[in-house]
């Protein structure tokens, strides 16, 4: 016992520090609070949760066995199955799970104030998201790296497997649609941003050719070259103003940019991977990890004051960025960074084939998700260091507060968040933009927040450059997700089409490639288009749909692992995944029901369709709104039916899970007879 | 299966944390491994170990296959 005293003292100190930082954040009223407290509270919560809850799950629930050879060791082939150092796997895994979601979600959720978002990012991650990722990684590792879809088919049967496949395809379509919208909104009427984002395409091509023809496989050289060119692209966009014709050539509205993004998505999906996807992925990973580290360093270095109040009046459901009450819509908006179903796709399939030791599952499953949650906290801080008035002016669509700057700022000021048109004009000028009003999507406000943080830490004169650097950073990995996700969706689509006509299932048959790519791009392209023409900015209709889909996928993943826990003589610990599952079912069900049946047209899809129909019939719409009204009505109804479909999928999975868990109780079958874990083999690794 | 040493199986080759040069070398190796920059060297090591004497692919051919293998089915890049 005496030799354990230092450890006990250390963990007591970390717990106390975390508790007081969290208490300070939660109980703070009226005074501004320093962002450093968020960092301290978050890091302490992750450390304590990792040490105790993660450690308990590893030891008791899963009985992780370092002496058991992993698939990477048993099936080593030097390609997919490669035992790899744990920190390298951590890097790979983190780069694959952390994308735009944990940056955008917290930015939007800041409309409730900083407190609900921070608390849910922390609690949701350590009790739900980290647990999900760790358990899925464990189950897949014990099954030679089977994918979530395969495990769902094995454990939940045909219905569960089909639900997982459909949910995966739909979430990819909605995810790409909404991320495309984020990029389009960031580029609309901003030639500098448009030039910078467009320049990433030829830069990726140059790196692709470099790695193929000039210096094959010199990844670091190619990446360094690419990153240097990306920075030149950011600087180059700033010089556009000197050439009016060139400047005008990059000045596009949302619809045209959406067309470009859709066309790009299709071409990227059928180009060889070495030319565009692979180099883009190298650049995106490098830039992503680099900027996340920079942001964390800068926030710690300058410790900015948080200006957002802990709670805003919009917890009552009248929020201008997205409507709906705190419950359930905070939990739908903040999916990534707390619990993200998408991670289950990464944690099954790719990562298990790299694990050198089973005991690494805790660091990679639990730890990498905690790191992603930390990125979410950083994004929330970046949104909260802005003046709340400025934050709302950037993120609220013209359809909500009007297009006239004076009227818009007056409305926002009347909410209790003072801001003036002159202040917004000066801010837009300082970041090199024409206007920052109604720049929905989260990216511009995140970029303003990051630019102000980077500016204070590394030099204020460069505010405009920092702003566009942040836009480039977001766009680079959003476009990578778009390109990679389209291909993943294409393979699922080909799989499904192959069931109807076998040749369509052949992944290398060119007509099938083109057809399925068209279907996938058409699918997300339509959602992107819906978002762009929506007068309320698109986020209010698309982001909840994305959140529900993501939480649905998380529910499927948790259902699969719950069934596995129950069947593998770990039933008494099944609450570890069953509780987050129950929470997700409650959240998705209540959010879906509200989206379907709420009478408030801001919340209910069908209510919005009815309201618009009535206005159109009464002739109460201005002509330009009346022209697109039939399409908006159809879109609202389509979104409503999508939501209904997700709700049905959730309940199919829940009933299937209950049936399988209860039947096990009745029959007492020890484990799935069809898919037992791979047998124990002793590791040969030193 | 023959005994694998950590070195061949892709463990992080440490240059010794004690000396500053060793630490830099470890970080550099980690960076190369994380980005996949050393994939060809790993292929050679694996090849010599498991298929001694068999013909070896040149760097260019290896990389054509490698990039196709890693990205042809898309990549899981999360939200």
pLDDT (0 to 100) of residue B3: 35
pLDDT (0 to 100) of residue A148: 93
| Interchain CB contact of A180 with B (< 8 Å) | no
pLDDT (0 to 100) of residue A30: 72
* Cβ pair A336, A108 in contact under 8 A: no
Interval A656-678 mean pLDDT: 68
Q: Residue A508: pLDDT above 50?
A: yes
Contacts with B78 from chain A: Cβ below 8 Å: 96-99, 101, 336, 340, 342-343, 345-346, 481
3-state secondary structure of A33: strand
Q: Residue B79: pLDDT above 80?
A: no
pLDDT (0 to 100) of residue A28: 81
Q: How many helices (H) and strands (E) does chain A have?
A: 29, 2
pLDDT in tens, B37-65: 999 998 898 889 888 988 999 999 999 99
Distance CA A45, CA A39 (A): 10
pLDDT (0 to 100) of residue B8: 39
pLDDT (0 to 100) of residue A328: 95
Could you tell me how far CA A89 lies from the centroid of its own chain?
A: 20
3-state secondary structure of A623: helix
Could you tell me how far CA A396 lies from the centroid of its own chain?
A: 21
Domains (range + CATH), chain A: 9-190+251-667 (1.20.1740.10)
Contact B11 A481 (CB under 8 A): no
pLDDT (0 to 100) of residue A676: 67
* Cβ pair A132, A577 in contact under 8 A: yes
My answer on whether omega of the bond before A328 falls inside 30° of 0, hence cis, is yes
| Interchain CB contact of B77 with A (< 8 Å) | yes
> A238: distance to nearest CA of chain B, Å?
29
Distance CA B78, CA A340 (A): 9
Interval A428-435 mean pLDDT: 95
> A426: distance to nearest CA of chain B, Å?
33
A29/A651: higher pLDDT: A651
| Interchain CB contact of B54 with A (< 8 Å) | no
Phi, psi at B56, each rounded to 5° = -105, 140
Sign of CA dihedral A373, A379, A383, A384: positive
> A70: distance to nearest CA of chain B, Å?
12
Contacts with B37 from chain A: Cβ below 8 Å: 217-220
Stretch 627-646 of chain A: residues touching chain B, C-beta under 8 Å: none
Distance CA A346, CA A352 (A): 9
Q: Residue A589: pLDDT above 80?
A: yes
pLDDT in tens, A276-301: 999 999 999 999 999 999 999 999 99
pLDDT (0 to 100) of residue B2: 35
Nearest residue of B to residue A81, measured between CA atoms: B9
| Interchain CB contact of B79 with A (< 8 Å) | yes
pLDDT in tens, A24-56: 998 887 778 999 999 999 999 999 999 999 999
Distance CA A443, CA A199 (A): 18
pLDDT (0 to 100) of residue A124: 98
Contacts with A218 from chain B: Cβ below 8 Å: 37
Contact A220 B70 (CB under 8 A): no
Interval A495-517 mean pLDDT: 91
| Interchain CB contact of A73 with B (< 8 Å) | yes
Please give the full DSSP string across A267-322, using - where no structure is assigned: HHHHS-TTTTHHHHHHHHHHHHHHHHHHHHHHHHHH-PEE-S-SS-GGGGTT-SSS
Interface size, chain A vs chain B, as Cβ–Cβ contacts under 8 Å: 158
Distance CA A299, CA A39 (A): 8
Question: Counting every residue, how long is chain A?
Answer: 686
Contacts with B54 from chain A: Cβ below 8 Å: none
> B40: distance to nearest CA of chain A, Å?
8
Contacts with B12 from chain A: Cβ below 8 Å: 85, 87-88
Query: Who contacts A448 (Cβ-Cβ below 8 Å, separation ≥6)?
Result: A386, A390, A394, A427, A431, A436, A467
Name which of B10, B72, B35 is nearest A269 in CA terms: B72
Interval A376-387 mean pLDDT: 96
pLDDT (0 to 100) of residue A686: 79
| Interchain CB contact of B39 with A (< 8 Å) | yes
3-state secondary structure of A93: helix
Name which of A140, A164, A155 is nearest A560 in CA terms: A155
Query: What's the whole-number average pLDDT of chain A?
Result: 93
Distance CA A74, CA A68 (A): 10
* Cβ pair A346, A92 in contact under 8 A: no
Q: Residue A672: pLDDT above 50?
A: no
| Interchain CB contact of B21 with A (< 8 Å) | no
> B56: distance to nearest CA of chain A, Å?
14
Q: Please give, one letter per residue, the 3-state secondary structure of A494-558.
A: HHHHHHHCHHHHCCCCHHHHHHHHHHHHHHHHHHHHHHHHCCCCCHHHHHHHHHHHHHHHHHHHH
Q: Output the CA angle A415-A416-A417, nearest 5 degrees.
A: 100
């Amino acid at each position: 016992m005496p030799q354990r005293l230092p450890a006990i003292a250390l963990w007591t100190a970390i717990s106390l520090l975390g508790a007081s930082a969290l208490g300070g954040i939660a109980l703070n009223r009226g005074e501004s609070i320093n962002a450093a407290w968020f960092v301290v509270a978050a890091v302490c919560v992750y450390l304590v949760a990792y040490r105790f809850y993660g450690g308990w799950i590893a030891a008791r629930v899963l009985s992780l066995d370092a002496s058991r050879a992993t698939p990477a060791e048993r099936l080593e082939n030097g390609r997919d199955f490669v035992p790899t150092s744990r920190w390298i796997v951590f890097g790979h895994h983190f780069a694959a799970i952390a994308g735009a979601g944990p940056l955008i979600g917290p930015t939007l959720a800041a409309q409730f104030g900083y407190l609900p978002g921070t608390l849910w990012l922390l609690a949701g991650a350590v009790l739900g998201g980290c647990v999900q990722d760790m358990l899925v990684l464990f189950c897949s590792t014990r099954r030679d790296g089977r994918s979530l879809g395969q495990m769902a088919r094995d454990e939940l049967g045909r219905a569960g497997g089909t639900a997982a496949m459909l949910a995966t395809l739909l979430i990819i379509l909605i995810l790409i649609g909404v991320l495309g919208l984020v990029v389009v909104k960031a580029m609309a009427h901003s030639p500098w941003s448009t030039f910078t984002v467009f320049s990433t395409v030829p830069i990726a091509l140059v790196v692709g050719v470099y790695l193929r023809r000039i210096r094959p496989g010199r990844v670091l050289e190619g990446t360094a070259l690419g990153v240097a060119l990306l920075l030149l692209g950011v600087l180059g966009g700033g010089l556009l103003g000197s050439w009016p014709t060139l400047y005008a050539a990059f000045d596009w509205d949302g619809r045209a940019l959406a067309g470009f993004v859709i066309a790009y998505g299709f071409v990227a999906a059928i180009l060889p991977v070495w030319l565009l996807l692979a180099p883009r992925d190298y650049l995106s990973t490098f830039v992503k990890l680099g900027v996340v580290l920079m942001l964390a360093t800068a926030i710690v270095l300058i410790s900015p004051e948080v200006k957002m109040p802990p709670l805003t009046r919009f917890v009552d459901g009248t929020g201008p960025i997205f409507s709906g009450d705190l419950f359930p819509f905070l939990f739908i908006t903040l999916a990534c960074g707390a619990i993200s179903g998408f991670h289950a796709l990464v944690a099954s399939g790719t990562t298990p084939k790299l694990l050198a030791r089973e005991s690494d599952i805790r660091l990679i499953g639990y730890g990498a998700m905690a790191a992603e949650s930390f990125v979410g906290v950083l994004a929330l801080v970046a949104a909260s260091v802005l003046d709340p008035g400025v934050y709302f002016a950037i993120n609220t669509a013209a359809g909500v507060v009007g297009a006239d700057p004076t009227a818009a700022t007056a409305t926002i000021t009347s909410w209790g968040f003072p801001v003036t048109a002159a202040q917004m004009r000066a801010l837009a000028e300082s970041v090199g933009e024409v206007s920052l009003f109604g720049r929905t999507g989260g990216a511009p406000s995140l970029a303003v927040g990051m630019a102000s943080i980077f500016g204070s830490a590394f030099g204020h004169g460069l505010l405009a450059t920092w702003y566009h650097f942040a836009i480039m950073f977001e766009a680079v990995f959003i476009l990578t997700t778009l390109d990679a996700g389209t291909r993943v969706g294409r393979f699922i689509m080909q799989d499904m089409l192959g069931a109807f006509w076998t040749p369509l299932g052949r992944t290398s048959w060119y007509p099938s490639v083109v057809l399925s790519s068209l279907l996938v791009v058409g699918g997300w392209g339509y959602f992107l288009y819906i978002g762009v023409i929506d007068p309320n900015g698109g986020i209010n209709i698309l982001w909840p749909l994305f959140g529900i889909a993501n939480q649905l996928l998380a529910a499927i993943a948790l259902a699969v692992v719950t069934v596995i826990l129950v069947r593998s003589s770990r039933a008494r610990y099944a609450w570890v995944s069953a509780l987050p599952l129950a929470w997700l079912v409650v959240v998705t069900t209540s959010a879906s029901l509200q989206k379907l049946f709420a009478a408030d047209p801001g919340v209910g899809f069908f209510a919005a369709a009815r309201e618009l129909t009535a206005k159109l019939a009464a002739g109460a719409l201005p002509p330009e709104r009346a022209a697109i009204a039939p399409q908006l009505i159809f879109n609202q109804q389509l979104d409503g039916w999508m939501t209904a479909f997700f709700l049905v999928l959730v309940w199919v999975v829940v009933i299937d899970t209950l049936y399988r868990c209860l039947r096990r109780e009745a029959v007492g079958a020890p484990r799935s007879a069809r898919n037992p874990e791979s047998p124990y083999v002793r590791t040969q690794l030193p | 299966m023959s005994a694998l040493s950590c070195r061949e199986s892709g463990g992080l080759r440490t240059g010794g944390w004690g000396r500053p040069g060793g630490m830099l070398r470890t970080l550099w190796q980690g960076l190369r491994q994380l980005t996949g920059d050393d994939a060809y060297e790993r292929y050679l090591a694996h090849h010599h170990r498991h298929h001694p004497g068999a013909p070896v692919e040149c760097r260019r051919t290896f990389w054509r296959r490698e990039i196709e293998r890693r990205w042809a089915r898309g990549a899981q890049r999360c939200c």
